[in-house]
């Protein structure tokens, strides 16, 4: 009899939901291995001060590398663009709604000089580009914690997918158009990693891989890898796949939260090459702007 796979995951309600979604689609049903990460432990400190992107995945990845788990389940947006040594991205689940959402108020209804809470430099930069009058506050914690804090601000920003997966769609005041409010790389997708020499596990994880979602996320991750930036940089990318299989990649890049937001959109058939091309165009734009 085939033994169930062991899936390492963070212990938050959303992380457990995502890992359970993967587990239920494997045969036999996989078991969860709960791991505590630095990002979960240090909710009082901005992400940029405790390592930026990667603080929610390193310990989960370590569980796989040590043999304590067979695979790791992540929010794809939490994964650094460069693959961890010894691991491979074995599956990308079907992508949920990638948009960001305002909770508490629609953007147009926020009063002049109002305060929006979000720990994301990308979200701050995009909001500031449309509403330079806004002020921003740091916001950390799990979904429930952030929603509890929402009453203290004019609005907070969260991922639509996270709210929908936890049955909290009614908290959304406004979902922001991703062609303007470009999401974080991988937002809305579930990523599953395993050891790069474990072909048996990789083959079993193929059951949850969605080809179109993988193409889109690959293009976005190629873009981020080319930039060499982490989550402290105001950067976003959103790829879609047309009926013919051709990719469209929209991306934004700013050198600072209060600086100009540079945008570029391109199409292509090769997700890696497309990501590299769009990143190059935006780097050139930032350089030319001084």
Do residues 284 and 277 touch, judged by C-beta distance below 8 A?
no
Do residues 41 and 34 touch, judged by C-beta distance below 8 A?
no
Cα–Cα dist 177/185, whole Å: 15
Do residues 4 and 205 touch, judged by C-beta distance below 8 A?
no
- CA Rg value for the chain: 19
Cα–Cα dist 275/225, whole Å: 9
Cα–Cα distances in Å, from 51 out to 20, 33, 55, 127, 246? 27, 24, 6, 24, 35
Residue 101: enclosing H or E segment and its boundaries?
A: strand 100-103
Q: At what angle do helices 271-289 and 211-227 cross, to 10 degrees?
A: 30
Cα–Cα dist 182/98, whole Å: 9
Do residues 278 and 267 touch, judged by C-beta distance below 8 A?
no
| 133 is annotated as an active-site residue | no
Do residues 215 and 240 touch, judged by C-beta distance below 8 A?
no
User: Catalytic pick from 70, 78, 97, 198?
Assistant: 78
Cα–Cα distances in Å, from 68 out to 61, 146, 163, 237? 10, 31, 30, 33
Which among 207, 156, 176, 230 is positioned nearest to 29, based on CA atoms? 207
Write out the catalytic residue numbers: 78
């Amino acid at each position: 009899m085939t033994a169930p796979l062991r899936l390492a995951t963070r212990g938050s309600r959303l992380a457990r939901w995502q890992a359970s979604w993967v587990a239920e689609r494997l045969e036999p049903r996989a078991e969860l291995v709960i791991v505590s990460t630095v990002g979960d432990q240090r909710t009082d400190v901005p992400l940029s001060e405790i390592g930026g992107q990667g603080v929610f995945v390193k310990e989960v990845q370590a569980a796989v590398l040590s043999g304590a788990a067979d695979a790791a389940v992540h929010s794809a947006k939490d994964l650094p663009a460069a693959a961890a040594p010894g691991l491979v991205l074995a599956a990308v689940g079907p992508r949920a709604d990638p948009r960001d959402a305002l909770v508490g108020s629609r953007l147009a209804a926020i009063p002049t000089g109002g305060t929006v809470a979000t720990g994301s430099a990308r979200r701050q930069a995009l909001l500031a580009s449309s509403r330079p009058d806004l002020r921003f506050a740091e916001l950390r914690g799990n979904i429930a914690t952030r929603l509890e804090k929402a009453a203290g601000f004019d609005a907070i920003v969260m991922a639509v997918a996270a709210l929908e997966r936890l049955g909290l769609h009614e908290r959304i005041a406004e979902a922001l158009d991703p062609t303007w409010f470009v999401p974080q790389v991988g937002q809305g997708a579930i990523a599953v990693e395993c050891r790069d020499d474990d072909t048996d596990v990789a083959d079993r994880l193929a059951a949850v891989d969605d080809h179109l979602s993988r193409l889109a996320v690959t293009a976005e991750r190629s873009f981020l890898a080319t930039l060499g930036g982490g989550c402290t940089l105001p950067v976003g990318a959103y790829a879609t796949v047309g009926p013919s299989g051709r990719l469209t990649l929209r991306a934004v890049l700013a050198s600072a939260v209060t600086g100009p937001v540079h945008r570029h959109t391109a199409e292509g058939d090769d997700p890696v090459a497309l990501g590299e091309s769009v990143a190059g165009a935006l780097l050139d734009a930032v350089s030319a702007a001084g």
